[in-house]
């Protein structure tokens, strides 16, 4: 399972003993205890190609299916919204439907990628999963949204960055995947954040300089001292709350967190490559997906990235992509090199 709320944050909430948070603490404990199965993508595509490109007539349109779990832990749930069906009176259904569409539009506009599988595949989601479920996740086949506990977490369908982040995990998987452990797992999380941030910026018409670079803004209630789950611009500053603690993400390799929890710190150490991408995108100017995003995307989908790639290997790969696409002496190469250097990742130290 690839979930937006990291286990260490839910664990903090689960151990809260304040009477006014009893409901939220119980919801967090239930969320942590709920079994979830991740289905790795298995692709068997039969598509027509012309040269290196998929051939489409005109611009492809999304194929979205939204189901309602009706607060049970059963997937997919009851189908309630389709591409050609009427709109729903349920706000969560409509928000999920719109968010899937925004992500589809971004992938096509930015990279001519038709859906997360690159072949126009169906985008499926389930809303109202579980009772007071404090998370949203990609299970390898669909997006799944909880409604939150109402005290600490609100519903998750209102955040475009959350939706695009989770679908970004699908893009990673369909592109060959990155092992969900240690640095490769942190890269998996970071690339999903990159897709989340770029999709939100694309939807809002923001440049890299104008963007907040927040992931999950709006999913906390007003009771929480924090603005989002993560900040790509300033890792470690997204929240500082009496119950949830302080955002533990590092922004530099000198602060890299060695831990056996959270699959080796995949949600924590993703702050380092997150910051590198944000620096590169702002340095290059304009929209984040135009050059920095293109370099990251081509690196991910080029077929040469090892599943167990570490930060240094990915830094080297993005540099090589920039050199191939823009020239060795280009400003794109300089921006990528400078960004990785700023977070303490040495391109010469690649081991994977």
Q: How far is CA 169 from CA 263, 284, 312, 342, in A?
A: 16, 25, 21, 26
Query: CB neighbours (10 Å) of residue 250?
Result: 20
> If you average pLDDT over every residue of the chain, what do you get?
89
Tell me the per-residue pLDDT of 249-267, one tens digit each, with 9 for 90 and over. 999 999 999 999 999 999 9
Give the per-residue pLDDT at 163: 96
pLDDT digits (tens, 9 = 90+) for 137-175: 999 899 999 999 999 999 899 999 999 999 999 999 999
What's residue 54's pLDDT? 52
Say which of 128, 200, 267, 332 is annotated catalytic.
267
What pLDDT, on a 0 to 100 scale, did the predictor assign at position 237? 98
Closest CA to 115 of 68, 40, 66, 175: 175
User: Distance between CA atoms of 8 and 2, rounded to whole angstroms?
Assistant: 14
Residue 20 has pLDDT above 70, yes or no: no
The pLDDT tens digits of the residues spanning 49-59 come to 555 555 545 57
- pLDDT tens for 135-144 read 999 998 999 9
CA 165 to CA 137: how far, in whole Å? 9
Other C-beta atoms closer than 10 Å to the C-beta of 44 total 4
pLDDT bin (cut points 50, 70, 90) of residue 311 is very high
CATH code of domain 2-349: 1.10.390.10
Peptide bond into 76 cis (omega under 30): yes
The confidence band for 18, taking pLDDT boundaries of 50, 70 and 90, is: low
DSSP string for residues in 193-253: HHHHHHHHHHHHT--TTT---EESTT-B-TTSSBS-SEESSSTT-SBEETTTEE----SSG
- pLDDT of 174: 94
Spatial CA neighbour of 195 closest among 73, 293, 337, 269:
293
Asked whether residue 44 carries a pLDDT value surpassing 50, the answer given is no
Q: Is 166 an active-site residue?
A: yes
Tell me phi and psi for residue 208, to 5 degrees.
Answer: -60, -35
pLDDT of residue 220: 95
pLDDT band at 296 (very low <50, low <70, confident <90, very high): very high
pLDDT in tens, 189-219: 999 999 999 999 999 999 999 999 999 999 9
**What's the pTM?**
0.85
Report the percent of the chain where pLDDT is more than 90.
Answer: 80
Catalytic residue among 151, 166, 173, 332: 166
């Amino acid at each position: 399972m690839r979930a937006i709320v990291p286990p260490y944050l839910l664990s903090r909430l689960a151990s809260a003993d304040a009477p006014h948070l009893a409901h939220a603490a119980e919801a967090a404990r239930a969320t942590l205890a709920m079994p979830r199965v991740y289905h790795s993508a298995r692709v068997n595509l039969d598509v027509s190609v012309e040269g290196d490109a998929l051939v489409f007539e005109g611009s492809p349109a999304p194929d979205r299916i939204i189901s309602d779990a009706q607060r049970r832990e059963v997937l997919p749930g009851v189908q309630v919204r389709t591409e050609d069906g009427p709109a729903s009176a349920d706000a969560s259904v409509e928000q999920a439907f719109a968010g899937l569409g925004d992500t589809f539009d971004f992938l096509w506009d930015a990279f001519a990628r038709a859906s997360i599988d690159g072949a126009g595949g169906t985008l499926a989601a389930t809303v109202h999963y579980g009772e007071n479920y404090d998370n949203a996740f990609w299970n390898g086949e669909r997006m799944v949204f909880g409604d939150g506990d109402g005290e600490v977490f609100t519903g998750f369908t209102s955040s475009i960055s959350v939706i695009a982040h989770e679908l970004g995990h699908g893009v990673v998987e369909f592109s060959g995947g990155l092992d969900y452990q240690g640095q490769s797992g942190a890269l998996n999380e970071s690339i999903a954040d990159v897709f989340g941030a770029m999709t939100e910026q694309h939807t809002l018409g923001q440049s890299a300089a104008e963007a907040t670079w927040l992931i999950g803004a709006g999913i906390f209630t007003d009771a929480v001292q924090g603005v989002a789950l993560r900040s790509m611009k300033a890792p470690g500053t997204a929240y500082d709350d009496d119950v949830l603690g302080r955002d533990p993400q590092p922004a530099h390799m000198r602060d890299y967190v060695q831990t056996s929890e959270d699959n080796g710190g995949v949600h924590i150490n993703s702050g380092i490559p997150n910051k590198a991408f944000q620096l590169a995108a702002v340095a290059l100017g304009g929209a984040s997906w135009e050059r920095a995003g293109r370099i990251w995307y081509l690196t991910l989908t080029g077929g040469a990235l090892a599943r167990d790639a570490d930060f240094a290997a990915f830094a080297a790969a993005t540099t090589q992509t920039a050199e191939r696409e823009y020239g060795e002496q280009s400003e794109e190469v300089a921006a990528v090199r400078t960004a990785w250097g700023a977070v303490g990742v040495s391109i010469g130290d690649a081991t994977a």
